[in-house]
Amino acid sequence: EDIALYRNMLVGIAPEALPDDVPAPRVGFVRPPQWSRLEASTLRLLEEAALRLSRAGATVVDAAMPLEFAQAEEDHRVISCREFVQNFTREIEHHWNEISEDLRNGKIKTGMGYGFDPYRAAQISAARCRGGLAAVFADYDVLLAPAAVGDAPIGWNTGDSTLASPWSLMHTPCM
């Protein structure tokens, strides 16, 4: 029911009941290169989710990601930081002192450090990875993967969301 409602919201059509003969979902369990950075609670939740899906009848197997996926976090950083600087050139040039120190010393400084060649290389790598991801989805209906290292801290900061970066780069949702 939740999936039907979600589908309705995404594509703007009325939900339809699933027929009785729908095969069990094929779930690819992704253990990304950043797996070792996950908090213990996140590891437990993912393992538990995989086990519960399996017990509910889903086929859950480890999913092999394209080789380029290992570089996706860095590719996303190069692309997003460089494009951030390009998109906010006016603010950077005319309102530098009004920009937070965190932003000036973080994303802006990083983005200013990337020239065209690394940016283009990251774009090419990302396109290759998207092609490889399409092949992964030939074997799975959905991927189970961490979207964050752990819980978001209390306050305005969302915490370490770098695990969502590869999925953003792939133009795929990650929840």
Q: C-alpha dihedral over 35, 67, 106, 87, to 10 degrees?
A: -140
pLDDT tens for 78-109 read 999 999 999 999 999 999 999 999 899 999 99
- Strand pairing category for 59-62 and 26-29: parallel
What is the C-alpha to C-alpha distance for residues 35 and 53, in angstroms, rounded to an integer? 20
Confidence bin at 1 (pLDDT 50/70/90): low
Q: What is the pLDDT of residue 46?
A: 95
Judge whether residue 175 has pLDDT over 70: no
C-alpha 167 chain-centroid distance: 3
Give 4-26 pLDDT, tens digit per residue. Answer: 677 778 888 877 777 788 889 99
Task: Give per-residue pLDDT as tens, 110-163.
Answer: 999 999 999 999 999 999 999 999 889 899 999 999 988 888 888 877 777 788
Each residue's pLDDT tens digit, 28-61: 999 988 899 999 999 999 999 999 999 999 999 9
